[in-house]
Amino acid sequence: MSKTRIVFIHGMDSYGAAAWPAQHLLAGNYDCLFLKRTGFDAVAPPAATDFAADAKIVIDALGRGGHVVAHAQGAVAAMMAAVQRPDLVRSLILIEPLLPSLTAELPATAAYSRRVQELFARSEVLGDAEFLMEFNTLLAITTAGTAEPVIRRAARARLQLPSADAPLLIVPGVPTFVLTGGWEPLYEEVADYLESTGAKHVVLRSGHRPQDTTDGAAQIEQFIEAAQRGV
């Protein structure tokens, strides 16, 4: 009997399997695929954000269907894929989802979008290290231990389209779990909105990567197991 597939979609911290250290153990019971979004590669040049291409990467990876787990900016591709092919998505797990196009008029989202616009308006006068520091601070990105040079990470960051530009719709009929770290109003605002549409929302006081904690990893696994049983 073949294992059920889980597709993992990273944010900006890292990509591929490196973005999901606490989820590697799930490969014992599931067919885990750790994706790389457009422009995230150790060799190929960084490329601009392509929301449609990222959604296709997710859909293609799902094959005959499975669960989708996404962090931060990766939630855009996850939701777009689920809207396009809800028949393939058994459950949708969104961790600190950066989905400002859903909550554009709400205060924390509006303030975040202004800060992003201000940063990119100044990007040409900022050096790579300075731009990357401000970008990472704005998005709570942790890159400790990464082997990629600053110039490469900065080039990728400069090519990111605002998530507020993503064409998003609420996913109908797909069991959805939102996990947040309880530290940033932007993510809680998005999560509260998703909860109002039927998603389950859990807050762990753990910062931007609750999936790395023992409790967070357990919450993810438990939701997937419940979706498997149809609970």
62-86 pLDDT, tens digit per residue, is: 999 999 999 999 999 999 999 999 9
- Considering only the top CATH level, what class is 5-229? alpha beta
Residue of 145 and 210 predicted with greater confidence: 210
Give domain limits for the chain: 5-229
| CA separation for the pair 50, 160 (Å, rounded) | 9
160-196 pLDDT, tens digit per residue, is: 888 888 888 777 789 999 999 999 999 999 999 999 9
Strands 176-180 and 200-203: parallel
The burial of 185, by beta-carbon neighbours within 10 Å (0-12 exposed, 13-18 middle, 19 or more buried), is given as: middle
Q: Is the pTM of this model over 0.85?
A: yes
The burial of 120, by beta-carbon neighbours within 10 Å (0-12 exposed, 13-18 middle, 19 or more buried), is given as: middle
Using a pLDDT cut of 70, give the percent of the chain over it.
96
Q: What is the 3-state secondary structure (H, E, C) of 40-84?
A: CCCCCCCCCCCHHHHHHHHHHHHCCCEEEEEECCHHHHHHHHHHH
User: What is the pLDDT averaged over residues 207-218?
Assistant: 96
